[in-house]
Structure 1
């Protein structure tokens, strides 16, 4: 089982960060890899069980199911149902925690998944740096512009 973990600090209060990040379908507004995204069957984007279907800017298509969601914990967990990547049993969590000594937010994004040894380094890079790290940076940049 492979694991990828990325964390960073966003210089904004948790309520501001979570207000943007909590929308399971909102990643198309701030993540550079997302071209377009929709929630299937008209479900709300914070309802456990909803499925987001999205296209990457480079052309791949994914479907992900929301497994858990908590405004109290500022976190959600999801799984990949369909992916162009050679992975299985992918489960990821996105979580925000307040930094109490200043108005900032500690953001964590991690995933576990199964991948063949021949693809592991490439997939770790794609998930860790190109998706999670780039996404956290883009979220921070979006909030700076607001």
Structure 2
């Protein structure tokens, strides 16, 4: 006789540990990785390319670099730099506070040469847990932020 599913240790483990949600968006644009990194490769430079960001202030806390973003509609994001990699043109950050319906959010933005000559690829990806909403709503909120920023970057690269 087989034990019931409710009594299965594997079932109990799976029920007690939710998997983090993931989101990844990518855009290709004209230019080189160096040109794209010149736009992206400043932790507070997001104010110059993301259409929703009105200002960015850098600070330090406990030896960590933080940025406080204020959106054009008054929202506030506090983000902590986790890893910076100029050589591989990427950085990873963690959201400490935000109006997004997420928690445990960690994100990486990366610039790479695209397969097509004369083009660059920018990927913005993250993992997070939904906070107070269904997973689909959390993924959509994050994807909307990413798409607005990535499309703005593509337009800026087009002008280069």
| TM-score, normalising length: structure 1 | 0.87
Alpha-carbon shift at residue 115 of structure 1 (Å): 0.9
- Structure 2 unaligned regions, length at least 5: 1-19
Alpha-carbon shift at residue 85 of structure 1 (Å): 2.3
- 1:105 aligns with 120
1:72 corresponds, among 87, 95, 106, to: 87
2:106 corresponds, among 91, 110, 123, to: 91
CA contact (8 A) 2:109 2:125 kept: yes
- Structure 1 unaligned regions, length at least 5: none
- 1:18 aligns with 37
May I ask how many residue pairs the two structures share in their alignment? 140
Q: Name the SS of the counterpart of 1:32 in structure 2.
A: coil
Tell me the C-alpha RMSD between the 2 structures: 1.9
- 2:141 aligns with 126
| TM-score, normalising length: structure 2 | 0.80
Which has the larger Rg?
Answer: 2
In the alignment, is residue 40 of structure 1 matched against residue 59 of structure 2?
Answer: yes
- 1:7 aligns with 26
CA contact (8 A) 1:86 1:119 kept: no
- 2:159 aligns with 145
Give every structure 1 segment of 4 or more consecutive aligned residues whose post-TM-superposition deviation is greater than 6 Å: none
- 1:61 aligns with 76
Q: Quote the Cα distance in structure 2 between the aligned partners of 1:3 and 1:101.
A: 27
